[in-house]
Structure 1
Amino acid sequence: MIVFIARRLVISFFVLLAATFIIYVLTAFAGDPLEDLRQDNSPQKLTKIAERSERMQLDVPVVLRYLGWLGRIVRGDLGVNRDGQALAPILSDALSATLQLVLAATVLAITVGIVIGIISALRQYSGFDYTVTFAAFICFSLPLFWVAVMLKQYVAIEFNNWLKDPVIPPVVIGALALLGGLIFGALTVGDRRRRLVAFAVGLVVSGALFTILSVTRWFADPGLGTPLILAFGLATAVGFTALAAGLQYRGPLYAALAAAVIGAICSQVLGPVLADPTWLEIGGLLLLTIAVCLGLGYALGGLQRRQAMTAATLTGVFTGAMVFLDRMLQAFAGFSASVRHRPVSTIGARTPNYQGDFWQTGLDSAGHLLLPTLALILISLATYTRFSRASMLEVMNQDYVRTARAKGLPERTVVLKHAFRNGLIPVTTMMAFDLAGVIGGAVVTENVFGWRGMGFMFTKGLQEVDPGPVMAFFIVTGTAVVVFNMIADILYAYLDPRIRLS
């Protein structure tokens, strides 16, 4: 493994070196960096041209300019742009904005897409499978700029207007209830009668839920409350136990249920701490939650301690996330009033000069992230759903899966322990490229939503024929591609022990 990593690092170094030379030369010959100054009619025109020419070393051959840039990179100096501004802080700000914008969307798209794809593969030729396939093809075909504009219009402008009087019209309630019934029916396995019963239950439950939300004007002053947090936590405990160990084992189930109950109780006990916390305190509470849940799993797990620790930890983290969401929702009314009842923003990364407590500033950031995150998720989700479905179907038809079933192993064991890991191998390659692409930003999304991230820095450098920002962008993204692809190769060996890297 060490030899493999060393060989890959050496090869990648020379590939990056050659690529930097090509990119630098292409950028330098992409246009005239003095074009805007040549059209300047001010008396200082010649002085400005001389200063920029000296700063960019335009009197030096491009190869020597590249060698000078390479020497500065070796010393850790990114240099300056054509206006004399240091590139290091510009790159830092752009990278921070890009990670805020794209990282959450990419992680959510990967997680949700793989889960939906696997469920679709396990329910092949069912109503759910056909629905997911149809929706995936639609999302995959949508142009990103059109999705972004539609989200601006309906999820931001129209939704903000609706929040002034959040009453759901009966027609909309009926449509949402019908959608809920269809989802329930599609997720149900069995004959037609069973699916019709599930459809009816989903229709009634969804209709009642949205009617209650409309009558109580929940969207004007939202919140979850301890009873709902406890209900979600208990339901999650059952689900995670079924996945990790199986409901026939009581130890893991008791540990997960205990984690949910303790999390709901702590939502009240920790009220003063959560009134206006810091991210450091939130991180500390997360680590404490994990430690307590691991202890519960170890103490109550019995012979299934490993599975109990997994189920309890996942349940505790999920319950903690529900408590976090509840606190955010409780602060929504005050935040909405402070931004003139326009909580969902259409442009920028934050409200200028906005001052608020921890939860209000978090809502401000979330309001700016909502639209670009949704736009990126809708496009990326389709790819991961279809790819993971195809990979899982291929694995489920392998001989070793049929052998595992023939041995009488439970379906949960067959899917999670035998098929799931091997089904992730092809998806891992795509994940590596996407995670590396996160660093490069999303040019279209940044332009539509007014984010000044890596994509903006790159396009601006190209438009101004300034190699400095372009090369800073390329160094970061090129290194990210090399690193994530190497991580993907290492993960291959972890997911499938038959793969040996030497």
Structure 2
Amino acid sequence: MLAYALRRLLISVPILIASTFIVFIGGALTANPLNQLQARNPPPPPRVLELERQRLNLDEPLLERYWNWLIGLFQGDFGPSVHSNLDLGSEVIARFGVTFRLIFLAMLIALILAIIVGVISAVKQYTKLDYTFTFFGFLFLAMPSFWFAILLKEAGISFNNAVGEQVLYTIGDSSVYVAGGAWAEFTDVLGHMVLPTISLALLSFAAWSRFQRASMLEVLNSDYVRLARAKGLRRGKVMRKHALRTALIPLTTVTALDLGAIISGAVVTENVYQWRGAGSFLLESIRNDDVYAIQAWLLISATFIILFNLVADLLYGVLDPRIRYA
């Protein structure tokens, strides 16, 4: 298993390096950080533009800028922002901290629901329960993420108005001031996560449950599961140790591949609920043509996608030992 893990890790390193080059070149060629300054009326003096160009390293050749940026990344420096008083490193890490707690909880809930619903649908194939799960699965699949988030937000506002107090939080990732210490702050953050997490989790769960159902049906009809049942093993043991373990491999693949879609869904969800997370950070950076901020966002997202796919590769070896020896 160690050799298998090392091989996967070594494969991920050149992919990560290639992603830094693609991210930097793509960002540098698609936006001009001086646009906001040049659009002012009256226009700034040429000397101001030249000094800003030097501060943003725009006077250097493109490949030299990439190399200096790459070296800076190892020192925790993501480059200069168009806002001279903004530390991109601390800002982007703080924003992603807000976003990834939403993504982690949403993915965890979506995975648990997908496995439970997918297994039950496969075992109860063509029953009323299977048709009910299928209906709701396709219903959530058909809903645009922004529309579903708005519906939940409006439902939360209506519920608060009905009970006469704020039970469900519909704006922000936390309250401005919370009295009561660390536990009160923790519960406040959890309260703000309820509606956004439901919004993001249900849309992911809908697709994953269909994959889990199809995978489980394929495994249940395989010869080795029939053989295990014929040998007298209990149905629960066959489902847990033989069928479910193998059926989780396709779901692991889909989950790893969907991380990018979940991050983009989090951008939309955060915008609806007015979170100050990575989503709003990206939109602000795009509006301001803040190239280094956009590159920082893309690089961190790419890094997490690569790491998540690495974890998925390692899980393959855990779920099916034949893979690690292949």
Name the TM-score, length of structure 1 as normaliser.
0.60
Distance 2:284 2:30 in 1: 13
Distance 1:5 1:467 in 2: 35
Residue 309 (structure 2) aligns with: 485
**Deviation of 1:43 (Å):** 8.0
**Deviation of 1:52 (Å):** 2.4
Distance 1:441 1:458 in 2: 13
The answer to whether the 8 Å contact 2:12/2:310 transfers is no
Alignment of 1:45-444 (within 5 A): 46=46, 48-84=48-84, 85-154=86-155, 156-164=156-164, 341-357=165-181, 360-434=184-258, 442-444=266-268
Structure 1 residues 343 and 362 mapped into 2: Cα distance closer, same or farther (>3 Å)? Answer: farther
Q: Point out where structure 1 has 5 or more consecutive residues left out of the alignment.
A: 165-340
Distance 2:257 2:74 in 1: 26
Deviations 1:388-407 (A, max 9, x none): 11110000000011111112
Structure 1 residues 471 and 21 mapped into 2: Cα distance closer, same or farther (>3 Å)? Answer: same
Distance 1:25 1:461 in 2: 17
Matched, 1:496 2:323: no
Matched, 1:11 2:11: yes
Q: Structure with the greater relative contact order (CA < 8 A, sep ≥ 6): 1 or 2?
A: 2
Residue 23 (structure 1) aligns with: 23
Distance 1:63 1:442 in 2: 33
**Deviation of 1:355 (Å):** 1.9
**Deviation of 1:45 (Å):** 5.5
**Deviation of 1:102 (Å):** 1.9
**Deviation of 1:379 (Å):** 0.5
The answer to whether the 8 Å contact 2:257/2:309 transfers is yes
Deviations 1:224-258 (A, max 9, x none): xxxxxxxxxxxxxxxxxxxxxxxxxxxxxxxxxxx
Name the TM-score, length of structure 2 as normaliser.
0.91
Distance 2:294 2:213 in 1: 38
| Matched length | 325
The answer to whether the 8 Å contact 1:27/1:465 transfers is no
Distance 1:58 1:463 in 2: 19
Which of 459, 463, 468 is residue 287 of structure 2 equivalent to? 463
Distance 2:200 2:265 in 1: 11
**Deviation of 1:430 (Å):** 2.0
Residue 446 (structure 1) aligns with: 270
Distance 2:8 2:242 in 1: 30
Distance 1:469 1:97 in 2: 17
**Deviation of 1:56 (Å):** 0.8
Distance 1:43 1:479 in 2: 39
Letter in 2 for 1:32: N
Distance 2:169 2:48 in 1: 39
Q: Point out where structure 2 has 5 or more consecutive residues left out of the alignment.
A: none
% identical aligned pairs: 41
Structure 1 residues 37 and 141 mapped into 2: Cα distance closer, same or farther (>3 Å)? Answer: same
What secondary structure does 1:500 align onto? helix
Distance 1:436 1:39 in 2: 34
Structure 1 residues 498 and 14 mapped into 2: Cα distance closer, same or farther (>3 Å)? Answer: closer
What secondary structure does 2:149 align onto? helix
Structure 1 residues 350 and 111 mapped into 2: Cα distance closer, same or farther (>3 Å)? Answer: same
The answer to whether the 8 Å contact 2:200/2:265 transfers is no
**Deviation of 1:436 (Å):** 7.0
Deviations 1:22-76 (A, max 9, x none): 2212211213322221222368665653342121112222222111101212334
Distance 1:136 1:10 in 2: 38
The answer to whether the 8 Å contact 1:37/1:48 transfers is no
What secondary structure does 1:29 align onto? helix
The answer to whether the 8 Å contact 1:343/1:364 transfers is no
**Deviation of 1:485 (Å):** 1.8
**Deviation of 1:435 (Å):** 5.3
What secondary structure does 2:106 align onto? helix
Distance 1:497 1:73 in 2: 37
**Deviation of 1:138 (Å):** 0.5
What secondary structure does 2:321 align onto? coil
What secondary structure does 1:442 align onto? helix
